[in-house]
Amino acid sequence: MVTRFQYQTALTFVSPASEHRFLLKILPPSDGRQRVIDLAWSVEPQSSLWLTHDAFGNACVAGFADMPHSRFTFGISGKADISSEPYVLCQSPPPVFACPSALTRPFGALADFYAALAPGAPDGGEPLRRIEHFSHAVHSRMEYKRGVTDIATTAGEVFAMGAGVCQDYAHILLTLLRLDKTPCRYVAGLASGYGETHAWVEAWTGGRFYGVDPTRDKLADEGYIALSRGRDFNDCSVERGVYKGSCKGTQTIDLTMTASEATR
Amino acid sequence: MDSIPPITAHEINRLMARYGVKFGIYKNGEFIEQLFPFDPIPRVITAEEFGYLAKGLVQRVTALNCFLGDIYSEAKIIKDGVVPEEFVYISTGYLPECAGIAPPKGIYSHISGIDLVQSKDGKWYILEDNLRVPSGASYPLIARELCRIANPDAFSQNYVTDNRDYSDLLNDTMNHVNRGGLNVILTPGRYNAAYFEHSYLAERTGAPLVTASQLMVDNKVVYMKDYLGGAARVGAVYRRISDEYLDPMTFCRDSLIGVPHIADAYRSGNVAIINAPGNGVADDKGVYYFVPKMIEYYLGQTPLLENAPTYLPYYESDMKYTLENIGKLVIKDVSEAGGYGVVFGSNLPPEKLVELKELIKREPRRFISQEVVDFIDLDILDEGGGLVPRKADLRAFVLTGEETRVWASGLTRFSRHADSFIVNSSQGGGFKDTWVLSL
């Protein structure tokens, strides 16, 4: 299905920022599940921009804006053809995807949750059922709530609170799957019906990475466009920046996704 | 040696205070600068003994460089079952951000600080490898300089190898991997523990000493900014800040002492970073156990220098041995450094021993246990000018440029307390010059 997308973020600074260095992971890859047909991107203001990539193969826009500015915007728009099959082929995932990362360490209560959950998980036959079982458990256990967590909140902390947003759901599922010895990765991207960037999980089984969304308790279908992948949120921030100026600021995000054509 | 009057020791320590030979420690959140107490009686290593040590050290560092190159590319040593995966990918020193990067000339550990001890029967053991930002070379350098002023005859009458070539070795090392442009030394600033060393090495090598705000990256190239708004290309950065703070765009996002986008310049092959980021995976106390196996695996050689006898509770038989003999072993937490997280079983009361055993059973990957090597005492001068014996180790500096060479000197650290085995400067230890004889 061909989907049009338009996404923009604006950062507004209380006092002007200068010597602003940034790294943006906003460029959707063509990966077999999604094929990018059209892509335009913009960053304002900027003194220098260059394209690069990180160790996980994510395309990045890097650059800096030296002159003082009180507003910084970046965005993408384009068209992508998204397959109805919710997976990406991959023969052997990097070993780190099977190991705990900084935000997905299996702490006490979360490890206990896994221990209680594992015996009842479907075994053999269709491994995807087992993955969905864990995703469903995360969805049922957690309450969706904004403002209670931030980018540094670990899976263990979120689990103890019982509430969080999509990236927290993803971190808990990653922790459970890694305890279950299933390599898996964090995905940052866009999802239709979700007014900001979204996060979900890809779990590896049988030579494929399946997209699973614990926040909505479903597989990542044609409504999902991936932007970047990594061990956890730290590898996939849409925007990283350092600048001189006041740390207070506000962020506004606009996202629209529309299915334009039903054919490939 | 008994002819050195105590006044000389005091005099040299006074001179060092004047030259700012200090190191800083953080205690309860406060930065305290301390003098690094110097003892004027040198450790003496014969030419023959040093020749043997140097061969063993070059062999070890060569294998460690092979290991790092392998781990960040094909990881054959894991596939061949020599090192278990668990000791690599969950190590905090392993940086997935560096996977697939080929550093200039394939060198990861340019400056290696290898800690050794000599047991009472004369045999040397490797205690620890330091492959991240090992410090300490500046101390014997400046101490020798001041001793030469205080007593020139000692050096003209004893065949002591000149150690002033350290700056040449360091320059050769930086030049060999330089990708075009300046060599610079990157310091976090004067509140760093080893700031004296950063400034001293910059002075000796001629490389500009810079903080992050003097460097910038544009389109994957590193530049040093000058006061007139100009920018000069940088080809090699001898960074004295740790991996996690190196680049807020790739590692810890809150770092204010790092250079944004420097990892991108490095990944693109436009700058050498000395030492390479990600080396922590090879000097982990758990991975230490496997270094002799690496020498056999990569070089097909028998290790010339041995590790202290070490057990990994990760292996069942070693766990059993550790639990049964805990009272005579030294237990080390692999995630700690600087002499922290080291416990001698013999110093613990029975209830603490039980606690420690439980902890080891719960987290076997986190600990190693070692036989206590009864290493030699070296005499130091006490306050009154008398000689007293103290435990001492040796940090040897191994530099890898076009070839790998061992600096004919080193940092001998000693414990200041009669009953202690801990020699780390952060724990109040002192240091001596190390004389390598040329005959």
Averages of pLDDT over runs of 10 residues in chain B (439 residues) are: 55 79 72 82 96 98 98 96 91 92 97 96 94 94 89 88 96 98 96 90 97 96 92 98 96 91 98 97 93 98 96 95 95 77 89 92 92 91 86 96 97 86 72 93
Q: Yes or no: say if B141 and B417 are a contact pair by the CB < 8 Å rule.
A: no
Domains of chain B plus CATH, in order, are 6-302+375-436 (no CATH), 309-371 (3.30.1490.270)
Q: Do A52 and B268 touch (CB under 8 A)?
A: yes
Does residue A25 or residue A1 have the better pLDDT?
A25
pLDDT at A101 > cutoff 80: yes
pLDDT, mean of residues A205-222:
95
Nearest CA in chain B to A23: B249
| A46 has a pLDDT exceeding 80 | yes
Note the pLDDT tens digit of each residue in A174-208: 999 999 999 999 999 999 888 889 999 999 998 99
Buried b / exposed e over A53-77, threshold 16 CB at 10 Å, is bbbbebbbbbbbbeebbeebebbbe
A chain contacts of residue B219, beta-carbon cutoff 8 Å: 48, 50
Q: How far apart are CA A198 and CA A215, in angstroms?
A: 9
Tell me the residue ranges of DSSP E strands in chain A. Answer: 2-24, 34-44, 48-53, 59-65, 69-82, 87-89, 143-144, 163-164, 184-191, 198-205, 208-213, 218-219, 224-230, 239-244, 249-261
pLDDT for residue B2: 47
Nearest to B219 among A48, A96, A99 (CB): A48
Please report the sign of the dihedral spanned by the C-alpha atoms of residue A166, residue A172, residue A176, residue A182. Answer: positive
Q: What is the pLDDT of residue B8?
A: 65
Question: Cα(B198)–Cα(B192) distance, rounded to whole angstroms?
Answer: 9
CA distance B429 to B338: 11
The per-residue pLDDT for A115 is 95
Number of inter-chain CB pairs under 8 A, A vs B: 56
The pLDDT of A57-68, averaged and rounded, is 96
Measured between CA atoms, how close is A55 to chain B, in angstroms? Answer: 5
Q: How far apart are CA B137 and CA B133, in angstroms?
A: 11
> Given this model, what pLDDT does residue A125 score?
76
Which residues of B are less than 8 Å from A23 in CB distance? 249-250, 260-261
pLDDT at B427: 67
User: Which of these, A23, A6, A70, lies nearest to A250 by C-alpha position?
Assistant: A70
Residues of B with Cβ-Cβ distance to A62 under 8 angstroms:
249, 261, 264
- pLDDT bucket at A264, cuts 50 / 70 / 90: very low
Cα atoms in the 13 Å half-sphere on the side-chain side of A24: 24
- Locus of tokens 């019906």: A193
- Mean pLDDT on A70-94: 92
Q: Report residue B233 as tokens.
A: 């290309």
- pLDDT reported for residue B1: 45
**Nearest by CB to A55, which of B96, B216, B249?**
B96
pTM of the model: 0.93
**pLDDT score, position B201:** 97
ipTM of this predicted structure: 0.93
Regarding beta strands A198-205 and A184-191, do their DSSP bridges make them parallel or antiparallel, or are they unpaired? Answer: antiparallel
Kindly report the number of other CB atoms within 10 A of residue B293's CB atom. 15
Whether A54 and B97 lie within 8 Å, measured CB to CB: yes
Residue A126 pLDDT: 84
* Chain B residues closer than 8 Å to A175 by CB: none
B14 is written with which tokens?
A: 């006074």
Query: How many beta carbons lie within 10 A of that of residue A241, not counting itself?
Result: 19
Task: Quickly list DSSP for B275-332.
Answer: SPTTGGGTS-HHHHTTHHHHIIIII----SSEEPPEE-TTSHHHHHHHHHSGGGEEEE
Query: What domains can be seen in chain A, in order of their start residue?
Result: 2-83+239-261 (2.60.40.2250), 87-231 (3.10.620.30)
Assigned token pair, B269: 């092959």
Residue corresponding to tokens 């931030």: A150
- Provide the pLDDT for residue A180: 95
